[in-house]
Every structure is written in C-alpha cells, then in structure tokens.
C-alpha cells in the first residue's frame, strides 16, 4: 500500500472522553491551518443525530481551543456526520458504507477499549471497508508481551502491517521530535554523546495530580504499563539511538536497535510506590497493590552506551508537573592553579524539557565571582519563545495518519521489544511502598541513583 492521502476519517468511540478532550480540538487546529480537507464520520452506540454530534464537537472545541475562530468551527462542523449503531449489526455496517460513499482510502480511528479492536477491524474488513484504508489504534497495545503478540496476530488476519498505525501521543510532542534535531543537526553534541563523556541519563515524568476519576482504568494498569513501557522508553530510544541512515523506516529502525541492545530490566533495580489515599478512590480495589510510582534502572549494551545507566521515574501526585530528560556529563578533573588544585564538585549537563514548557538548557561551570571556585550557570532555551507555537501531539499524529506518514507510529517489532524489556518487572514486582502526595515518591527510589549523584532537580512546567 502506498502513501495515499485519506479521503474520509471515521471516528469510533466519538462520544468518549478522548474524542472530547483531544480529537476534536486537534481536528479544529488542523482545520484552522487548512490541513483538513475530508469528511468526518463519527460512530457510536449512543443514539445521536448529526446535530447532536456537532453540538458535542462544538463544546469540545470551545473547551480546548486557545484561539477560537467561529468561522473555522462552523466549516469543520459542516463536514461532520454521525452513524449510530452496534458494529456487530449488519445494518450499522450498511449505514457506515453509505456514509463513506465513494471514498477509497478511509482512515479509521479506534478510540475504543483495546479488547474491541479485533472485532471492529474484522467487521470492517468483512464489509470491504479496509481495502485501501488505514486503522489507527490507541494504546495500550496489549498488557504484556504475550497479549501484545496476540493482538497483533488478530489484526494481521485482516490488515497488513503498513495499514496499522499505533498512536503514542508522546511521539507527536514537538519537543520529543526536537531531540533528534538537537542531537544530529548540531555538530557540537554528537562527539560527546557517548559513554566516554556521559556519566548517566535520567528521564522523569512527574504529575502533580492523582488518578482522580480514572480509578477503575488505572488500577488495572499501573504506572509501568501506563507511561513507562510506551512513552518513556520511546523517548529513551530517541536520546540513545544512532544517526539516521535515511528512508521512511529510519527512525523506527534506529529505535529498534536501541531496544535490541537493552537487556531486560532487573527487578532488583526497580522501586514501586503508591501514594497515600489511592485505595480510597472510586473504582480502586481497597487492597490494591497497583503502583502509582515507579523508578528503575536500565542499560544499553552497545559501543556507544555500555556502562552508562539510564534511570527512569514516573508517578502520580508528585511534587511538580514536568517531563524531562537530563544528560549528566562526566565530572572533569581538578584545575591546577599556582596555589593548588581546585577540585570540581559539579558537572556539566544538558536538560531536555518535553512537558508544557518545552525547551532545553545546558549547565556550565564558571568561576564564582571573588573566589577560586566554580559556580553552575544555566543557558536556557524555550522552544515556543524562539520558534513559535508548535502543533499539538494529536494534531501532528492525526495529520500524519491522514497523509500516510507512519514515521512517528511505533511498529510492532518495537512494541514487542519494549514489552520484553519490562516483562521481568511484571512477572516479579517488588512490593509497593507508600509515599506522601506532593513528595518525590518512596525513599528507596533515592538509593537507586545514590552512586550517581542522586536524582536531578526537576522544575515545574
């Protein structure tokens, strides 16, 4: 299948939270930029009319838009249609086929529970609607290695690999994509980006809010499955991968190389936490052992990174809201001066912020005024201030899917490798340790990085 532009977008689960919070605001931004030139069909079991869908979409856009242009909203809503019914019913498929009409390259976006993916795709294929089309599925892509393989096997019964677009919104974040450009478009970094100069790497995804009204979903998933196996490992791969060699699969191939060089995680270097009060949330098991915080150590056994530890931590109800990568360079030797050796107690670092305040900073050591000592100074860059407003992650990824550009969508072989890496942590997890909301997780997570200077300070987004 080539890279034909989609000529109709079909949204399953259009009445749900994801469509309300992310999809419709993203579609509005694409419409505002003149990049959305196709009809949009919403499908669901809720007995709505076209007008009901348009009212829902208008409310979603008004809630999520930073700049509201009513003419753009009206233009987008005029192309919305709704198909009501259960996908298992032949009458629903007939109505959907009529709504799709002469379109030959439909894009189906499955904003539905993962256990429904196989059934929906099977019915679409049986109706002849997937020929020449693509299917976007939301994470999670399985809940462990075996289920990820089973899901993929089910999808491949009726689709080809290049028809499946697995969406991970983290890869659509502009600051995440900037990692590749920062590394390979700036000759000053690449010679230093290796085990000879870098002492350790830390990835932090901190959220200052709790599970709130997602208790039933979250308690069956936990932090490791929710954000580490997918989001943070994909970011780690961009930080650690080799230079791109060209071609549409270049990024995916280099990410795969990183994961294949990564031994499976060791439960001995894994800390799980659960914030006080989590078990009282509606939908959470009163005796739940689900983690809301994780910290772990990973390694990459290749020529570039052998011996460099990669530390990941992620959690709910932490001290701040931020997502950062911190590259800590090796501490330089002391400076020999006439009256002795000045020992340098700090190090250089590069920080990549991929949260709401996307940017980068470089930590330098300069002479402290009036003293024969060093002082850490930061050169800071805000991407938005310097480069302007960037497309949102769903905006970028939906447009890529419409255009047939799969570069930012993880392939199945990459997904399986990430599940392989975390599988020992699922099979043999340590007990969860309590932590106070507003803290930085359980005390034991500090021991994980004690030999490498401790966790770096994370600033609020």
Catalytically active residues, by annotation: 231
SS3 71: helix
E strand or H helix that includes residue 218: helix 215-219
With b for 16 or more beta-carbon neighbours within 10 A and e for fewer, the 425-440 pattern comes to: bbeebeebbebebebb
Strand duo 293-298 + 270-275: pairing: antiparallel
In degrees, rounded to 5, the angle at the alpha carbon of residue 27 between the alpha carbons of residues 25 and 33 is 105
Within 156-206, residue ranges assigned H as helices are: 174-184
Distance set, CA 119 to CA 84, 110, 151 (Å)? 17, 11, 11
What are the residues facing 318 on neighbouring strands?
A: 439
E strand or H helix that includes residue 382: strand 374-382
Structure tokens at 126: 């049986």
- What does the DSSP 8-state code read for residue 68? -
> Do 100 and 61 touch, CB atoms closer than 8 A?
no
Closest CA to 291 of 145, 425, 100: 425
Structure tokens at 448: 């994980």
d(CA 279, CA 215): 9
Structure tokens at 92: 């629903």
Structure tokens at 145: 């290695």
- The beta-strand segments (E) located in 207-321 are 270-275, 293-298, 310-315
Signed CA dihedral, 105, 111, 114, 120: sign only: negative
What are the residues facing 367 on neighbouring strands?
A: 374
């Amino acid at each position: 299948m080539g890279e034909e532009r989609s000529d109709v977008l079909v949204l399953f689960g259009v009445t749900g939270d994801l469509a309300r919070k992310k999809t419709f605001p993203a579609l509005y931004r694409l419409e505002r930029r003149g990049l959305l030139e196709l009809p949009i069909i919403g499908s669901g079991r809720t007995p709505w009319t076209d007008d009901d869908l348009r009212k829902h979409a208008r409310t979603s856009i008004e809630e999520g838009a930073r700049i509201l242009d009513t003419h753009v909203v009206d233009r987008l809503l005029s192309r919305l249609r709704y198909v009501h019914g259960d996908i298992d019913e032949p009458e629903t498929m007939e109505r959907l086929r009529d709504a799709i009409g002469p379109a030959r390259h439909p894009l189906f976006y499955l904003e539905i529970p993962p256990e429904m993916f196989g059934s929906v795709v099977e019915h679409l294929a049986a109706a002849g609607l997937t020929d020449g089309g693509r299917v976007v599925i939301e994470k999670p892509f399985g809940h462990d290695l075996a289920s990820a393989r089973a899901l993929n096997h089910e999808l491949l019964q009726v689709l080809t690999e290049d028809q499946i677009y697995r969406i991970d919104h983290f890869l659509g974040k502009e600051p995440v994509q900037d990692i590749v450009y920062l590394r390979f478009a700036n000759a000053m970094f690449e010679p230093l980006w290796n085990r000879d100069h870098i002492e350790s790497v830390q990835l932090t995804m901190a959220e200052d809010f709790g599970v709130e009204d997602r208790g039933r979903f979250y308690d069956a998933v936990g932090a490791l499955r929710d954000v580490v196996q997918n989001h943070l490992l994909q970011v780690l791969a961009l930080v650690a991968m080799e230079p791109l060699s060209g071609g549409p699969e270049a990024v995916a191939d280099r990410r795969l190389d990183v994961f294949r060089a990564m031994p499976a995680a060791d439960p001995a270097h894994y800390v799980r936490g659960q914030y006080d009060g989590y078990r009282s949330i509606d939908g959470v098991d009163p005796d739940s052992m689900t983690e809301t915080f994780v910290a772990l150590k990973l390694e990459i056994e290749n020529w570039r990174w052998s011996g460099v530890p990669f530390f990941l931590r992620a959690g709910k109800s932490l001290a701040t809201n931020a997502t950062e990568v911190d590259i800590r360079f090796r501490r330089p030797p002391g400076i020999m001066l006439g009256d002795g050796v000045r020992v340098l107690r700090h190090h250089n670092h590069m920080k990549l912020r991929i949260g709401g305040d996307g940017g980068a900073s470089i930590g330098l050591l300069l002479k402290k005024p009036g003293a024969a000592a060093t002082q850490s100074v930061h050169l800071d860059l805000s991407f938005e201030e310097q480069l302007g407003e960037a497309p949102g992650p769903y905006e970028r990824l939906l447009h890529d899917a419409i255009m047939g550009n799969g570069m930012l969508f993880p392939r199945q072989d990459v997904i399986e490798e990430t599940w392989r890496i975390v599988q020992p942590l699922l099979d043999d997890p340590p007990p969860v340790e309590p932590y106070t909301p507003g803290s930085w997780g359980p005390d034991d997570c500090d021991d994980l990085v004690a030999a490498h200077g401790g966790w770096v300070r994370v600033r609020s987004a």
